[in-house]
Structure 1
Amino acid sequence: MEREHQIFGIRAIIEAIQAGTEIDKVFLQKDAQGDLMKELMQTMKKNNVNFSYVPVEKLNRLTSKNHQGAVATISPISFHNLEDLVTNVIESGKKPLFLILDQLSDARNFGAIIRTAECTGVNGIIIQKQGAAPVNGDTVKTSAGAVFNIPICKVDHIKDAVFFLQASDIKTVAATEKTDNLIYDIDFNQGIAIIMGSEDRGVNPSVLKIVDEKAKLPMHGTIESLNVSVACGAFLYEALRQRL
C-alpha cells in the first residue's frame, strides 16, 4: 500500500473524515477499546465510511508508526455523484454505457476492469460503498492510470443505482450463468448498464430479480467460470462491436 495514501491514529482519522477527505477504508484493531475509538466508530457510521476489523499484525504491516489501533487508506481519486453523471452523459447526446460492479472485492481485478472500461468507452463505473474493492495503489497500478480517466461513483445500495438507471431509460444487463440468454442475444446498441458480480458469488440474487436482462458467455471448457475481469472484457467488447 502506498504510504502517501494512509492516515494513522484515531484522532487524525476522525479529523480527516470530518474534513471531507475521501477515505476509502479504515482498518481497526479487533480488540481496540476506549472513548476515542467509540468517537471514531460514531464518525464513520455517520459518514458511511467503509471499515473492517483486523489483527494488530496487519496494522503493523501497514505502518511502522504509532497507529493506536486504526489505519485509514485515502482514495487517490474523487468519486462522482451518480445522478449528476448520468444526467451529464444523457445531455451530452452520447449513448450511455455504464458498468456496475456488485461487491467485487479484489483490487487488482478492479484495476484490470477499469483499464478495459476506459478502452471501451464506458461513461462511468458504479460500486457500493460497503464491501467493494478499494481504490488504492494496486488499483491505480493495474488500471495503468485509467482510474484517473473514468468517473467512479459510490452508492449506498446497488439496487438503488439499478432503479435510477432504469428510470433514466438505461437498460440493465446482468452477467450471470443463471440464464439461457447468451451475450450475443442482447442488444447493446442502446443506453446500457452492464452488471458484473463478485469473484465468488456473482451478482446478488436480489439484484438479479430487478434487472431488465440476464446474459452469459458460452463456455466450452471444463472450468465453469472465467475470471471476472476477463468476463467483463468480453461483455464490454461485445457492446463496443455492436456500437461500431
Structure 2
Amino acid sequence: MIKNIIFDLGGVILNIDFDKAANAFKELGIKNFEDLYSRATQSNLFVDLELGRISDKQFYGAMRELCGINLSDEQIKTAWNSLLLDFPQNRLELLKELNKNYRCFLLSNTNKIHYDSYQQELRAEHNIDGLEAMFEKCYFSHDIDIRKPDAESFKYVLEQNNLKPEETLFVDDTAINIDTAVDLGIQTLYINVEKGDDIIKYFENGKIGKLKPYINTEYTSATNLFKDNTPKLWNDDNAPILVGIGLRTPANIGGLIRLAGTVGCKKVILADDKLEHKASKIKKAATNGFKKVDWKFVPLNSWTDHIPEGYEIIAMETTPDAKMIYDVDFPEKVAIVVGDESYGIYMDSLQKCDSQLYIPMNGPVKSLNVVQAAGIALYEVLRQRLMTFGKG
C-alpha cells in the first residue's frame, strides 16, 4: 500500500522547455549555443550549479567566458530562466488533494537561479508561498549536494523521513531517475512528457488511480538476428577496450557489457567512485555477457591505469576539437570512452583521452543513449578492421 509520494518538479509539476533557453541565448548573439552547452557540460558547470558548489555570480562569469560575449548577469539570468514555463492550476489543485491522503515530498535537480524564479511565479500568479507550502518537505539538489539519479539522493529522502521504499511512489519524467528508484525497491510512475503524459491522468479524487507498469524498453533481445560467422579479428593483445565514465543505470552498464561481448572487446572498464549497482540488474541487461566478458569497476581517478600501454584512448564526445567518426582511421589498439548519461564525459577524464570523435546526427534530436553511441563507435572499429583483415 502506497503511503508516500515523492515528486519530481520540472516536467511533472512545472512545465519546462529547454529549447526556449537555447533560443533565448541565440537571440543574445550566441549562435553556436549547442557547442557552448556541450563545453559547459564537459566542464561540470551545470552539475556544480545544481549541487550548489558555485554561486550565481560564478555561473554568470563562467557563461560569459564560454560564450566570449560580454553579457550582463541579468541577460544571462533571463535567458537561463526562460526554460521555466508555468504551473498548471489543475496540478496545483491535485497536490492539495493528495496531501490529504499521502505524505508528499519534492525531490528536484535544480539550482538557486531557477529556484528564485519559480518561487516568485508561485507567489505572484497563484498566491502560494513557495513550493515548501505544498509539500511536507522539499529537497533541492543545490541545498543537499546530491543529484538524481544518484541513489544517495533517494536514500536521503527515505531515511530523513522514515519512509519504506515499498510504501513510496516516485514520480519523474526522466527514465534514468526512475531506473534508480526501481533498483531501490521504490514504486514508480514514469511521466512520458514527449508523448503528452501528465500526472493528472493517474490520480482521482485525491488518490492514486491505476498506475501503468514501468518497463525499460531500450534493451530488447536481438538473438538470432545475426549469424556467428565473423572471423576472429583480434587477439588479447590488440582487442578494443570499452570504458564507461560515471554511468548511472544498471541497464546501461549491462548494455555496454553485452555490446562489448558482441564486438569481442578485451575488457570493459567502469570508472565510478560512489554508486552501488545491483548485480542482478546489470546481469539482466548484459545477458550472457555478464559471465563471458571481462568487466570491472575501478576508481574514477585511476581508470587509465587499467589500459595497457600502446592503446590510443578516444572519447566519444562532441567538443570543438572533435572529428567526425567516419573521417578517421582507427588505430590497431583503441580504447573507446563514453560518459555519464546526462552530462557526458567529465572534464578531468576527457583530458586523459588522446582525441575526441562525434557522431553526426541529421534529425531534430541531438543526443544518443550511451549504449547506442558506444555501439556505433565499436562497430565502426569492427567495420574498419573487417575491411583490412587478412590484407596485412
Q: Give the shorter-chain TM-score range.
A: 0.5 to 0.7
Per the alignment, residue 147 of structure 1 pairs with 290
Q: Which SS does the other structure have where 1:57 is aligned?
A: coil
Query: What letter is aligned with 1:152?
Result: W
Determine the structure 1 residue equivalent to 2:315.
174
- Structure-2 separation of matches of 1:200 and 1:215: 18
Q: Which one of the candidate residues 221, 225, 240 is aligned to 1:97?
A: 240
Please say if residues 257 and 295 of structure 2, whose CA atoms lie closer than 8 Å, have aligned partners that are also in contact.
Answer: no
Cα distance change of structure 1 residues 213 and 142 upon mapping to structure 2, 3 Å threshold: same
> CA 1:60/1:147 → structure 2, altered by over 3 Å: closer, same or farther?
same
Give 1:221's aligned residue. Answer: 363
Unmatched 5+ stretches in structure 2: 1-149, 168-183, 185-234, 387-392
Are the structure 2 counterparts of residues 125 and 133 from structure 1 closer, same or farther at C-alpha, using a change threshold of 3 Å?
Answer: farther
Alignment of 1:17-36 (within 5 A): none
Shift of 1:135: 4.7
Write the distance in 1 (CA, Å) between the matches of 2:365 and 2:328. 24
Quick one: percent identity of the two aligned structures?
26
Distance 1:206 1:143, change over 3 A: same
- Residues 64-75 of structure 1: matches in 2 within 5 Å? none
- Structure 1: unaligned runs, 5 residues or longer: 1-49, 62-71, 73-91
d(CA) in 2 for partners of 1:173, 1:193:
6
- Secondary structure at 1:194's aligned position in 2? strand
Q: How high is the TM-score relative to the length of structure 2?
A: 0.39
Report how far residue 182 of structure 1 moved. 0.9
2:262 matched residue in structure 1: 119
Question: 1:109 is matched with which residue: 252, 261, 264?
Answer: 252
The question of 1:242 aligning with 2:381 is answered: no
Q: CA deviation at 1:59?
A: 5.4
Q: What is the letter of the counterpart of residue 279 of structure 2?
A: N
Alignment partner for residue 299 of structure 2, among 156, 175, 180?
A: 156
Q: Is the 1:98–1:192 Cα contact (8 Å) retained in structure 2?
A: yes
1:104/1:129 Cα in 2 relative to 1: closer, same or farther (>3 Å)?
closer
8 Å CA contact 1:106, 1:133 repeated in 2: no
Structure number having the greater strand percentage: 1
Question: What is the CA distance between 1:223 and its match in structure 2?
Answer: 1.1
Matches of 1:101 and 1:227, distance apart in 2 = 13
Paired amino acid for 1:171: E
User: How many residue pairs end up in the alignment?
Assistant: 167
Q: Which amino acid aligns with 2:367?
A: S
Residue by residue over 1:170-225, the C-alpha shift from the partner in whole angstroms, topping out at 9 and shown as x without a partner, is: 10000101144011233324111110001100001111122101001011011111
Deviations along 1:94-117, one digit per CA (max 9) or x if unpaired, are 313111100011111111221111
Larger RCO of the pair (alpha carbons < 8 Å, separation 6+): 1
Task: Name the larger-Rg structure.
Answer: 2
**Structure 2: how far apart are the matches of 1:192 and 1:102?**
16
Q: What secondary structure sits across from 1:232 in the alignment?
A: helix
Deviation at 1:122, TM superposition (A): 0.8
Alpha-carbon shift at residue 161 of structure 1 (Å): 2.3
The residue aligned with 2:3 is none
TM-score (norm 1): 0.60
Counterparts of 1:168 and 1:203, CA distance in 2: 22
Provide the C-alpha distance between the structure 2 equivalents of 1:112 and 1:231, rounded to a whole number of angstroms.
Answer: 11
Any conservation in 1 of the 2:247–2:272 contact (CA below 8 Å)?
A: no
Return structure 1 stretches of 4+ with deviation > 4 angstroms: 58-61
* Separation in structure 2 between the aligned mates of residue 103 and residue 184 of structure 1, nearest angstrom: 26
Instruction: Give the direction of change, closer, same or farther, for the CA distance of 1:214–1:227 in structure 2 (3 Å limit).
Output: same
